[in-house]
Chain A
Amino acid sequence: MKNRLKVLRAEQNWTQADLAERLEVSRQTVIAIEKGKFDPSLTLAFKMARLFEQPIEAIFEDEL
């Protein structure tokens, strides 16, 4: 699944560590999600949507 996490994070001038702290996950998890190597759960996806004030579809895109 593709995502715009890196772009959204850059817009906020946050480092990966900043985002990890805000999402209460490890920096490794943020790196893996940004690279598309790990798909987050719905709970974490909603948390990201709330954090960036965007709908989930604006952050994640299905690769079908």
Chain B
Amino acid sequence: MSRFTEIVFGTGLPKRDHNNEKRVNLWAFAWAGTLLLAMATMTTFNAGLLALIALLALHLYCALRAINAYRYFLRELDEMERKVQLDAIAFSFAMTIVIFSTGSILAVADIVPELNAAVVVLSLSLCYVAGLIIGRLRLS
């Protein structure tokens, strides 16, 4: 079981990489938090332009910190783990294009409802996780 969790969750990473991973997760959660905060503020209260600018600035700041944290995490990873990560990104990107193009055809044919941005985010996330697991299993 521990071998399985090591492969799937990458628990065998050095401490340095775990700390970098935590930093990525922290900024990603902060980014998602500011998205929810901005949505809630804009829909619940009649916030003005100044509040909108402040929320946008906060949201962009967290997004840039998350991107930088992920880039640093990638740079510090060992070469094989970096390859697994980059393969997973390529896989998720390609699969999302395929899913979205197929979905668009089905939507035009009225078989599925019109696709929205949430589908892209969901597809990217799920395919990225699947790509990580496939990559780690392939090299284990």
Contact = CB atoms under 8 A, between A and B. Distances in A.
A17 B139 CA distance: 17
Given A20-B12, A20-B14, A21-B14, A26 B78 contact: yes
Interface residues of A, number: 17
Contacts of A20: 12, 14
Contacts of A21: 14
B6 A38 contact: no
A26 B13 contact: yes
Given A38-B139, A40-B79, A41-B79, A28 B14 contact: no
Contacts of B80: 25-26, 28-29, 32-33, 38
B4 to A, nearest CB: 12
Interface string B102-140: 000000000000000000000000000000000010111
A56 B5 CA distance: 33
Contact of B81 (A28, A37, A40, A44): A28
Interface in B1-43: 6-7, 10, 12-14, 17
A27 B11 CA distance: 9
13 contacts: A17-B12, A25-B14, A25-B78, A25-B80, A25-B81, A26-B10, A26-B13, A27-B6, A28-B136, A28-B140, A40-B79, A44-B78, A44-B79
Interface of A: 17, 20-21, 24-29, 31-33, 37-38, 40-41, 44
Given A25-B79, A27-B6, 13 more contacts: A20-B12, A26-B12, A26-B14, A27-B12, A28-B7, A28-B10, A28-B80, A29-B78, A29-B80, A32-B80, A32-B140, A33-B80, A40-B79
